[in-house]
Amino acid sequence: IDIKTLRSVTGGMITIDPGYKNTGSCESAITFLDGEKGILRYRGYSIEELAEKADFLEVAYLLIFGELPNKEELKKFHKDITDESHVDEEMKKILDSFPKSAHPMGVLSSLTSALIAFNSSTVDVSSEKDMYEAIVRILAKFPVLVAWTLRKKKGLPLDYGDDTLGYVENIHKMMFKRPNQTYQKNDIVINALDKLLILHADHEQNCSTSTVRIVGSSHAGLFASLSAGISALWGPLHGGANQAVLEMLEAIEADGGDTKKYMAKAKDKQDPFRLMGFGHRVYKNFDPRAKIIKKAADEVLGDLGIDDPILDIAKGLEKEALEDPYFVDRKLYPNVDFYSGIIYRALGIPTEMFTVMFALGRLPGWIAQWREMRLRGEPIGRPRQVYIGEKQRPFVELDLR
């Protein structure tokens, strides 16, 4: 049934579905997920296979353009991105104007918006070339902004990338290279980072992706839509959960490390506290990404020889929750953010940067969703409401109120 017929047969009836728990906002050919069975596929390929066999740049290409690139396509894609990886020097002044204490997600969202002032932001969506160029431009410049955001926090000089390196290795170098020191590549770290980015690359119509699509549906430009997506991702119920997980673990440690006390808090309905990193809107059995990342977390911690009390608390909580009827009955399992925070900590990424790392991974997904929405010529997103406010009343003059 098409939407016009639907409207005519329902007489303009409105469905109320807070949080859109049962409302589909679009048709999409990008990501398939089955929350009951714990299946996640990008363009038909299982997340397990992609995480094992592909790298992040291949996955980005797959999500955005629909097919895995062949060697030539991948080489060209990487070269085109490398050619665009400069960011206008004036952008540094904008970054400079933020206090060091500014939250990196606010900084990243602002910088992404500011890019519009320095780069053509109007995209003729009927031109594949125009669209390709805009996509390459943001894939190239966004990692620089991410690295600068981290370096500003750490008081390190702002640098550009190394054209000879792979996409993810280059990001790692841009983030961590110290002045007067040779950058040491660590394959375990690069692989873990690559995997994390792949696992976060898309997740169909979540809060930030829906935001990107709805902002883009007004024909606002790509960078503006992405900047809005970054803001949506910031919240602790969405991308901010990985930061919230670590802050929760640190608070538990500071309070003596009693995990049982915090399990009880999470179950107490009078207490707003929730166990961060547990539960998912869609996955009600297990999060397939959490399985992959748990393995990666064990490898990274083992290989880097990290002994960290925070990580022991995480393991304790995981074990207790998996055996507790409250969590089992409500199907509250550790989600991807529970483990990603642990890996980021092991990699030496500051807690406040965790959600920025999520944004870096989600970038190709947002781009793919924006592109699909524009190519399909979707209408402007404009939900309705049921009004519950005052009935009509006469205006009261100021001096009579």
Q: In the complex, which residues of this chain contact ligand ACO (CB under 6 A)?
A: 237-238, 241, 266, 274-281, 330, 332, 335-337
Q: Closest distance between ligand ACO and the C-beta of residue 339, in Å?
A: 11
Pairwise CA distance, residues 372 & 366, whole Å: 10
Q: What is the sign of the dihedral through the CA atoms of 386, 388, 393 and 399? A: negative
Q: CB–CB of 341/245 below 8 Å?
A: yes
Name which of 353, 322, 348 is nearest 153 in CA terms.
Answer: 353
280 counts as catalytic: yes
- DSSP states of 304-371: HT---HHHHHHHHHHHHHHH-HHHHHTT--B-HHHHHHHHHHHTT--GGGHHHHHHHHHHHHHHHHHH
Q: Closest distance between ligand ACO and the C-beta of residue 153, in Å?
A: 23
Which of 10, 23 has the CB closer to ligand ACO?
23
Q: Closest distance between ligand ACO and the C-beta of residue 332, in Å?
A: 5
Which of 169, 337 has the CB closer to ligand ACO?
337
Pairwise CA distance, residues 159 & 152, whole Å: 11
Q: Closest distance between ligand ACO and the C-beta of residue 73, in Å?
A: 30
Q: Which of 103, 194, 280, 287 is catalytic?
A: 280
Give me the residue whose beta carbon is nearest to ligand ACO.
279
Query: What is the 8-class DSSP label of residue 292?
Result: H
Q: Closest distance between ligand ACO and the C-beta of residue 269, in Å?
A: 7
Q: How far is CA 257 from CA 37, 187, 313, 314, in A?
A: 34, 33, 7, 10
Q: CB–CB of 145/351 below 8 Å?
A: no
Q: Closest distance between ligand ACO and the C-beta of residue 248, in Å?
A: 10
Only one residue has tokens 């107490």, namely 268
Which of 223, 358 has the CB closer to ligand ACO?
358
Which of 169, 204 has the CB closer to ligand ACO?
204
Name which of 34, 47, 117 is nearest 361 in CA terms.
Answer: 47
Which of 266, 363 has the CB closer to ligand ACO?
266
Q: CB–CB of 276/319 below 8 Å?
A: no
Which of 147, 266 has the CB closer to ligand ACO?
266
Pairwise CA distance, residues 42 & 36, whole Å: 17
Name which of 48, 61, 106 is nearest 359 in CA terms.
Answer: 106
78 counts as catalytic: no
Query: What is the 8-class DSSP label of residue 121?
Result: -
CB atoms within 10 A of CB 68: 17
Which of 41, 265 has the CB closer to ligand ACO?
265
Q: Known catalytic residues?
A: 280, 337
